[in-house]
Structure 1
Amino acid sequence: MNRRFPLAGLLRLRRLEQDQAAAHLGSVNAQLRALDSRQDAARDQAGQIPSDVDSSSALLAVAAARASSASLLADFEALAAATRAQAQQAQQELGAARARTMGLEKLEARHTMDADAAELAAEQRVLDDLFSSAPRFSSAPRAGAPEAVSP
């Protein structure tokens, strides 16, 4: 008598959407971690450029390297800001997907409880019918019935 949850297909879809949102968030977070490590490496590399040079060509090379490193760090910072915005958006999408899924999960739990209650009620009715139609036995002997003899 266990009826199937009528919104089971929609619930599966919502769970898939939630899983996709979680995977997207994980991907964006992985990109952010990789970007942070590349940015840290670029900062370390920029810090290794010597500041005390004696020839003018070396001075120009150091200045160009510093400018290049500063530009690279600015690019990394812009990319990191965009990736953080993506991560925040992905987090919001995951929260929204989870909220949609939770509503259906609550409906499913309610349906399961109602179906279980209906099944128990039907079982109780069968037991009540069996009990009401069963012959009654009493402790007093019936008239005309032979009595048991004790040895």
Structure 2
Amino acid sequence: MTKKFGLAGLLRLRGIQERDAAQTLSRANRDEQRTQARDRQLRDALSVSGSTVTDSASLRALSASRSAARGLLSDLHVLAEAQQVVTAQAREAHTTARIGELGLTKLAEAHAAREQERELAAEQAELDEIAIRPKTEETS
């Protein structure tokens, strides 16, 4: 009979923690990519200016629009920096969780190999015992 791996519950917990950390990292990467896409869209919109200034009111409106867009770009830049920090933290947490799970997985695999080796040795001992019995016992 095989002996159960004593840290199986902890291994399951570490697996759950690793999957949770992977999901957090995935969300952080997705948020960072969305912010970068919004930044690119805003920059593209600012670079394509088809409006021509015909009077001072149009010039003031264009100036206000560009000023607001610069403020939005600045806000997006701050948000992108914050998201990079969050992503880096999530990546570190995921790496730590993976290392913890990997260590326990290796222990579980080593335990399974030892148990299989022990079972095979016990089976071989039984076969050896059967092989050395006198022939007379087999016929009766």
Work out whether the TM-score is over 0.5.
yes
C-alpha deviations, 1:98-136, integer Å up to 9, x for none? Answer: 010011011101100110011011001101111111328
* 2:102 alignment counterpart: 102
TM-score (normalised: structure 1):
0.85
TM-score (normalised: structure 2):
0.91
Structure whose alpha-carbon radius of gyration is higher = 1
Over 4 Å off, 4+ runs: none
What SS does the aligned partner of 2:4 have?
coil
Root-mean-square deviation (CA), in Å? 1.4
C-alpha deviations, 1:16-53, integer Å up to 9, x for none? Answer: 10000000011111111111111111112222345752
* 2:120 alignment counterpart: 120
* 1:36 alignment counterpart: 36
Q: What does residue range 63-78 of structure 1 map to in structure 2 within 5 Å?
A: 63-78=63-78
Larger RCO, structures 1/2 (Cα 8 Å, 6+ apart) = 2
Unpaired runs of 5+ in structure 2?
none
Number of corresponding residues:
136
Q: What does residue range 19-34 of structure 1 map to in structure 2 within 5 Å?
A: 19-34=19-34
Q: CA deviation at 1:64?
A: 0.4
Contact 1:18/1:101 (8 A) holds in 2: yes
